[in-house]
Amino acid sequence: MKLLAGAPGWTTTADVIVIGSGVAGLTTALQIRASGLSVLLVTKAKIDEGSTKWAQGGIAAALGPGDTPEQHKKDTLIAGADLCDSQAVEVLVSEGPEAVRKLIARGAVFDKSETGEIALTREGGHLRNRILHAGGDATGAEISRALLAAVRSDTGIEVIENALALDVLKSATGRVCGVTLHVIGAGSKDGVGRGLARAVVIATGGLGQVYSQTTNPSVSTGDGVALALRAGAAIADVEFIQFHPTVLWRDAAAGGQQPLISEAVRGEGAFLVNDKGERFMVGKHPQADLAPRDVVAKAIFTQMKESHSPHVWLDATGIHDFVTRFPTIYASCIENGIDPTKQLIPVAPASHYASGGVKVDLHGRTTIDGLYACGETACTGAHGANRLASNSLLEGLVFGTRIAADIASGLPAQQEPIADASPAFLLRADVKLPLQLGMSQGAGVMRSDSSLTETAALLERLSHHTSDAPGLDTWEVSNLYLLAVAIVRSALAREESRGSHWRSDHLETRPEWRKRVIQHLDASGKWSTSFEEVK
Ligand code: FAD
Ligand code: SIN
């Protein structure tokens, strides 16, 4: 199965193609260069677009006095609701500190305490202060700045902006040997073309745009997961969509990317209250307002249902240095008519992070030869059923480094692509809104067999709205559609509540469901589901 697109009109070649320019793609590209291979880095919009530059709270690593990778591992496993791959977590937490030191060596500047040490804060699910941050609440922007500067100064990395990856190219042996791209550019690389490479790394970020309200930017349409599915790769854990508890609530009609109020605000002392001014997290969990994200999101959702209110409130008025500690959040609150130093902030959960994605091993290898996945696109298993706060940037650093090491250990010669005779598919751009609304309604914070079945029926109806007009909008919506189907199928299969997957008809967590749901799409477009025991 492939996206409907014109025939490639140009060809370019590199040793490795990296798709995406967030923390995962940039880190992978830079690390690959250490082995002297050439890299083509393609990115759908401008190079700094993506979730990375929006990251607020920080990056987690056991760097503080008395902290250890073991303690970081423990917190990660607990947040992951018994579904983490323990080896992947081990890799993440034990290689994390070195990966962060390397990032600092590459030029990223983190905030310091009065004594000159790196300042560490706390977020939900962490039992210690272990979150490094930059510019107060502009951690992602600083990481992106530092990595982009390093990429720009490396002549062995060719960057093409406005280059949307469509589908992989495979050789007669079934190995991935390139990718089709659509470039909006000038000169020879314009329109649909072929990028040929000895390995391809997908680092296309998240899929928040599957839902009507999300913290994710507009480029987060799950393209990489959809591309991998069409290539025949396995995807895992996609039912575990993390809803961030505290997203600024503006009005019911607000759609697309919404401003985040970082968990670090609660880490610095803010707390949630309901319409009656009562603190509802106290007594609900030993960590109260700093419980893991799924616990807080569910409690907010319950409060909203009980009070028939579209939001709850965050009281941050006690944070004396709010303006300097959280300058980005302060500015977005003020822009929306709220002074967080004097007023309560209206907040509600919104889709934030995909804990699942393209199934990879500890070296970032997908189930298809020659194809790697890294960052939010990938499912290493490190996040289980609910990612621990600030473990995502870290995952991009750690696994990007591992992928580069695997690639450096040897790649076959460039192989020739063969023609892809599988059916082409494309949906109309106007499918997007009903799809997003349907997913928020039926496959959101709380799901049930009936809500998911209704959503599946909606998606089936939308699948008939086909298009013969290839373009950015129609490609993106076709990717969103595949992701929506995958999420609904996995959520329907998992008859229990666990982590960020909450079924109103199966409220209990069941030990027999300590397994991952794996989805496949065959060349004709037929889905299949299998299950895998958690390691
Ligand atoms: P991204 O940074 O999203 O990059 C994906 C790249 O792929 C982009 O360049 C995009 O344009 C490109 N792309 C997409 N599709 C295509 C295509 N078809 N062809 C070519 N290119 C494509 N995590 C933390 O650890 N700490 C935090 O404090 C934190 N705060 C967050 C705050 C917000 C508001 C958001 C949205 C997320 C936050 N996260 C945080 C999560 C974290 O930012 C992301 O998970 C992480 O940055 C993902 O990095 P990535 O490189 O995988 O993807
Ligand atoms: C936040 O700052 O609350 C987001 C952190 C994350 O998603 O890891």
CATH code assigned at 286 = 3.90.700.10
pLDDT at 252: 83
Domain-embedded: residue 394 = no
Terminal CA-CA length for the chain: 31
- How does pLDDT run along the chain (535 residues), one tens digit per residue? 999 999 999 999 999 999 999 999 999 999 999 999 999 999 999 999 999 999 999 999 999 999 999 999 999 999 999 999 999 999 999 999 999 999 999 999 999 999 999 999 999 999 999 999 999 999 999 999 999 999 999 999 999 999 999 999 999 999 999 999 999 987 778 899 999 999 999 999 999 999 999 999 999 999 999 999 999 999 999 999 999 999 999 988 899 999 999 999 999 999 999 999 999 999 999 999 999 889 999 999 999 999 999 999 999 999 999 999 999 999 999 999 999 999 999 999 999 999 999 999 999 999 999 999 999 999 999 999 999 999 999 999 999 999 999 999 999 999 999 999 999 999 999 999 999 999 999 999 999 999 999 999 999 999 999 999 999 999 999 999 999 999 999 999 999 999 999 999 999 999 999 999 999 999 999 999 999 999 8
Domain-embedded: residue 470 = yes
Ligand 1 proximity of 364 Cβ (cutoff 6 Å):
no
Distance 59 CA to ligand 2 centre (A): 9
Active site residue 266: no
Cβ neighbours of residue 19 closer than 8 Å, sequence gap 6 or more: 25, 42, 43, 165, 179, 200, 201, 202, 203, 204, 224
Least distant ligand from the CA of 364: 1
Cβ pair 51, 114 in contact under 8 A: no
Of 28, 82, 95, the closest CA to residue 509 belongs to: 82
Domain-embedded: residue 192 = no
Distances in Å between the alpha carbon of 51 and those of 93, 231, 279, 360? 22, 25, 31, 21
Number of domains in the chain: 2
Least distant ligand from the CA of 297: 2
Closest-lying ligand 2 atom to the alpha carbon of residue 137 = 2
Ligand 1 proximity of 144 Cβ (cutoff 6 Å):
no
What residues does ligand 2 touch, defined as CB less than 6 Å away? 56-57, 262-264, 353, 389-390, 392
**Top mutation candidate among 18, 30, 51, 92 for ligand 1, by most atoms within 8 Å of CB:** 51
Ligand 1 proximity of 59 Cβ (cutoff 6 Å):
yes
Distance 176 CA to ligand 2 centre (A): 34
Nearest 5°: CA angle at 262, between 259 and 263?
145
Distance 207 CA to ligand 1 centre (A): 9
pLDDT at 31: 98
Secondary structure (3-state) at 144: helix
Closest-lying ligand 2 atom to the alpha carbon of residue 389 = 8
Q: Is the pTM of this model over 0.95?
A: yes
Can you tell me the distance from the alpha carbon of 87 to that of 102, in angstroms, rounded to the nearest whole number?
A: 22
Q: Classify burial at 472, counting beta carbons within 10 Å of its beta carbon; exposed 0-12, middle 13-18, buried 19 or more.
A: middle
Least distant ligand from the CA of 58: 1
- In this structure, the answer to whether residues 344 and 431 fall within a common structural domain is no
Residue that is last in its domain, among 332, 350, 368? 350
Distance 66 CA to ligand 1 centre (A): 31
Distance 214 CA to ligand 1 centre (A): 13
Domain-embedded: residue 136 = no
Can you tell me the distance from the alpha carbon of 292 to that of 305, in angstroms, rounded to the nearest whole number?
A: 21
Can you tell me the distance from the alpha carbon of 160 to that of 154, in angstroms, rounded to the nearest whole number?
A: 14
pLDDT at 137: 96
Residue that is last in its domain, among 325, 350, 375? 350
The sheet with strand 371-373 has its strands ordered as 157-160, 39-42, 16-19, 199-202, 371-373
Q: Classify burial at 85, counting beta carbons within 10 Å of its beta carbon; exposed 0-12, middle 13-18, buried 19 or more.
A: buried
Q: Classify burial at 270, counting beta carbons within 10 Å of its beta carbon; exposed 0-12, middle 13-18, buried 19 or more.
A: buried
Domain-embedded: residue 125 = no
Can you tell me the distance from the alpha carbon of 296 to that of 460, in angstroms, rounded to the nearest whole number?
A: 33
Domain-embedded: residue 147 = no
Catalytic annotation, pick one of 33, 293, 489, 494: 293
Domain-embedded: residue 210 = no
Ligand 1 proximity of 45 Cβ (cutoff 6 Å):
yes
- In this structure, the answer to whether residues 346 and 429 fall within a common structural domain is no
Of 381, 399, 493, 491, the closest CA to residue 81 belongs to: 381
Which residue intervals of 244-337 are DSSP H helices?
263-267, 293-307, 322-325, 327-335
For residue 388, list its beta bridge partners.
none
CATH of the domain at 487: 1.20.58.100
pLDDT at 189: 85
Q: Where are the beta strands (DSSP E) in 345-491?
A: 345-354, 357-359, 371-373, 378-379, 424-425, 446-447
- In this structure, the answer to whether residues 346 and 249 fall within a common structural domain is yes
Domain-embedded: residue 523 = yes
Residue that is last in its domain, among 350, 373, 405? 350
Nearest CA to ligand 1 atom 11: 44
Range of the domain at 331: 244-350
Distances in Å between the alpha carbon of 189 and those of 42, 169, 193, 258? 12, 18, 7, 34
Distance 13 CA to ligand 2 centre (A): 37
Closest-lying ligand 2 atom to the alpha carbon of residue 139 = 2
136: left (phi over 0), alpha (psi -120 to 50) or beta: left
Secondary structure (3-state) at 210: helix
| 500 DSSP assignment | T
Secondary structure (3-state) at 343: coil
